[in-house]
Amino acid sequence: QVHLMESGGGSVQAGGSLRLSCASSGYSYRSNCMAWFRRPPGKEREVVAAIFVGNVPDYADSVKGRFTISRDYDKNAVYLQMNNLKLEDTAMYYCAAAHGISCNNGHYESDYNVWGQGTQVTVSS
């Protein structure tokens, strides 16, 4: 089965930038939808951004204008460029893929069947 692994997390001051990467392995065909989720400390996991069939992106309101999701279809990889980071962006970030299944709505954890183990992003003032 396909496996996902995030990288690029770390500590950054508010206003700074980070680029998260999610690499695939063990795949023989491209995933359908791919997405980034995050879990802030003490809170529920929430969708950050998703990219659908036709390379169409969608973003949570909290990150619109600051984050950009993109895919490399040859590598079955997904990236998240995060600019103007805020304190409330501190979270464990996860990539996810709908692999061999329908994308459905694409906004919920249940829409995805493959998950990375997460990479920590910490934003400080």
pLDDT tens for the 125 residues of the chain, in order: 899 999 999 999 999 999 999 999 998 889 989 999 999 999 999 999 999 878 899 999 999 999 999 999 999 999 999 999 999 999 999 999 999 999 888 899 999 999 999 999 999 99
How far is the C-alpha of 103 from the C-alpha of 93, rounded, in Å? 20
How far is the C-alpha of 80 from the C-alpha of 83, rounded, in Å? 10
